[in-house]
Chains A and B, each alone.
Chain A
Amino acid sequence: MDVLKELFVEPFRVFFNDFMGYLPQLTSALCIFIIGALVSLFIAKQLPRLLAFTKLDVLAQRLDIPTLLYRGGIRDPFSKFISGVIGWIVFIMFTLIAVKALRLTPMEILIERFVLYLPQVFTAILIMLLGYLMANFLRRTVLITAVNAGIKSAGLIGQFVKYGIFFFALTVAMEQLGIGKDTVIITYTITFGGIVLALALAFGLGGQDQAKTYLKQRLSGEKDGIEHL
């Protein structure tokens, strides 16, 4: 009987004791997870209403963020989108805390690494977002200025400025993440330098006459006699 007990009952007893010993951690992890899920759900649902008072969507519209979201397949207003993102961040944070509460050593190491890498990811995302906003703002500024100056390739110049700034932001973001650090910088430098050189040559050799006419008009102040005011 003792043999049988030792062979069959003891493992169950040990497992039960271990399980009972582990149960507080499991319960605590489960509670943290459920609370996290509820809090994130609450944030995702209620935050848009709060943000509506702050006129965040108007500000986003001015910064052309809805276009960025639309291109990424997101049709929601910016306030709803940002509430969703905050909701997800809260949910992930609670999940990480819940997993940590389980005290599983390999998982703890993984989480630690992940958490240490997070600031770089956030910085990279921020750089990309600012780069996108800056690129769009400057594209518009350059485009409108070029059109008002009567430059026929205004659209092209605007696009060049936009993508130049965007790729610069991408390079900095990649450097921040440590992905192909040197390769990205070298590629960007060669590409950007090449484009500038190509444009300089094209303008200098192919557009001499246009440059001459343009400068002549600007310097001589050749214009209509209309008094606009």
Chain B
Amino acid sequence: MLDKEVVAQIEQIREADILIGIPSFNNSKTIGHVVRAVRAGLAKYFPDMKSVLLNSDGGSTDGTMDVVKNSADENLHTILLTQHLPAFFKITTPYPGIPGKGSAFRTIFEAAERLNVKASCVVDSDLRSITPEWIELLLKPVLNSGFDYVAPLYQRHKFDGTITNGIIYPMTRALYGQKIRQPIGGEFGFSGNLAKYYLSKDVWGTDVARFGIDIWMTTTAIANHFKVCQVYLGAKIHDAKDPGTDLSAMLSQVVGSCFELMEEYHDRWSPVQHTIDIPTFGFHYAVGLEPVPVNVDRLIEKFQLGVKDLKDIWALFLPEDIIATLIKRQYDSNHPFSISDEIWARIIYSFAAAYHKKIIHKEHILKSLTPLYLGRTASFILDVWSSGADEVENKIEQLCNAFENEKNFLREIWS
């Protein structure tokens, strides 16, 4: 799968201790900063290790790869207060396969396997808040403590990460019993063994090759009993996503991958009754976050449109009482707009069961979730409008409890 030139470069390098992967697509404005942070992190925390940086690009047209190639060690001596900068290899390559983040990761896993690295990590190319310490935090648990998978833990704005907070975190936690707060965070550390295991799976023609990669990596690690931990990285601030990114497609790829994993690991999640904390590293500190503009009315409008036009499709797999509640919420001007935690948990579980039973075409099931997700997002935003960070975290905790309490409902409707 790897490009011939890349294979030749890897053969020249032969072996390495660390591989840092940076997937990119038109990120020329930010990737230079990310590369400098990675370089500084490696020089500062792993000076004696042989390191390789691999930029796996999706065919950028704005010179992203040139920025990576040309980024020099400027100011690094003054940043690190040292004259000694250890050897550092840089590879840039366009990745083959389906265009998407997952395909970019596959190239990184292949390079990790060929280089026989001890530890790897991946960081997004649009990060503005990355510091050299992120590299230390993502790699050290693998190198020093024998962990196989390191998930990130960020401080994010209360309106951000709504797919994570509203669906993926509560669901992963309830299903597999481990409290990984950012299962689809974007930055991960992993061992050479886990990279090899990922490569052994034949999933590269599915949504895993796109936005489904993060949840797939996390779930595969948990479900196959790899040693998992999380590290506190501070604030996650990055460039706004491409406005053309289709929310519905993104939601469908992430949730679809989660549902596919439920099929594969039914024996693992079904008996799980309780959730446990996982080892967490890093120093917690408060950070300032950028404000997030949000138009709640528009979210509610899209939800109302969904209820009006899609309720007949939902009626094929959602319980009658939930349909009735949704219709009631549609134009209930007497109460503030709200979709409760219990109803939301049941909705997601019903969608998962419908996907499992193939009640209608899978793509229709997944795409029809969008208006409900927007409704639930609006409900959550209204609920936490004036809440502080701790209160928001408590609300998310309550939602997780609802997902755990409703797990029997999932077991009942699954078969």
| Smallest CB gap from B359: residue in A | A61
Is the Cβ of A144 less than 8 Å from the Cβ of B361? no
Assuming the contacts A58-B357, A141-B364, asked whether A225 and B251 have C-beta atoms less than 8 A apart, the reply is no
**Assuming A140-B364, A228-B161, A228-B251, what are 17 further A-B pairs, CB within 8 angstroms?**
A58-B357, A143-B309, A143-B313, A144-B367, A147-B302, A147-B370, A147-B371, A150-B298, A150-B301, A158-B309, A221-B243, A224-B294, A226-B162, A227-B157, A227-B292, A228-B247, A229-B161
Provide the bound-state CA to CA distance between A152 and B377, in Å.
Answer: 20
Name the A residues within 8 Å of B364 (CB-CB). 140-141, 144
**Mask of A132-162 contacts with B, CB within 8 angstroms, 1/0:** 0000010011011111101010110010000
| Smallest CB gap from A64: residue in B | B360
Assuming the contacts A221-B244, A225-B294, A227-B161, asked whether A150 and B302 have C-beta atoms less than 8 A apart, the reply is yes
Number of interface residues of B (CB under 8 A): 49
Is the Cβ of B292 less than 8 Å from the Cβ of A229? no
Name the B residues within 8 Å of A62 (CB-CB). 358-361
Please pick, from A143, A148, A221, A222, the residue contacting B370 in the complex, using a CB distance under 8 A: A148
Provide the bound-state CA to CA distance between A154 and B371, in Å.
Answer: 13
Number of interface residues of A (CB under 8 A): 28
Is the Cβ of A144 less than 8 Å from the Cβ of B250? no
Please pick, from A64, A148, A155, A225, the residue contacting B293 in the complex, using a CB distance under 8 A: A225
Is the Cβ of A152 less than 8 Å from the Cβ of B305? yes
| Smallest CB gap from A154: residue in B | B309
Is the Cβ of A155 less than 8 Å from the Cβ of B250? no
Is the Cβ of B301 less than 8 Å from the Cβ of A228? no
Assuming the contacts A145-B367, A225-B292, A228-B251, asked whether A150 and B161 have C-beta atoms less than 8 A apart, the reply is no
Provide the bound-state CA to CA distance between A64 and B358, in Å.
Answer: 12
Is the Cβ of B301 less than 8 Å from the Cβ of A229? no
Is the Cβ of A148 less than 8 Å from the Cβ of B248? yes
Provide the bound-state CA to CA distance between A137 and B301, in Å.
Answer: 26
Name the B residues within 8 Å of A148 (CB-CB). 247-248, 302, 367, 370-371
Name the B residues within 8 Å of A150 (CB-CB). 298, 301-302, 305
A223 part of interface (Cβ distance < 8 Å): yes
Name the A residues within 8 Å of B302 (CB-CB). 147-148, 150
Please pick, from A146, A223, A228, the residue contacting B250 in the complex, using a CB distance under 8 A: A228
Assuming the contacts A64-B360, A144-B367, A154-B309, asked whether A226 and B250 have C-beta atoms less than 8 A apart, the reply is no
Provide the bound-state CA to CA distance between A62 and B359, in Å.
Answer: 5
B23 part of interface (Cβ distance < 8 Å): no
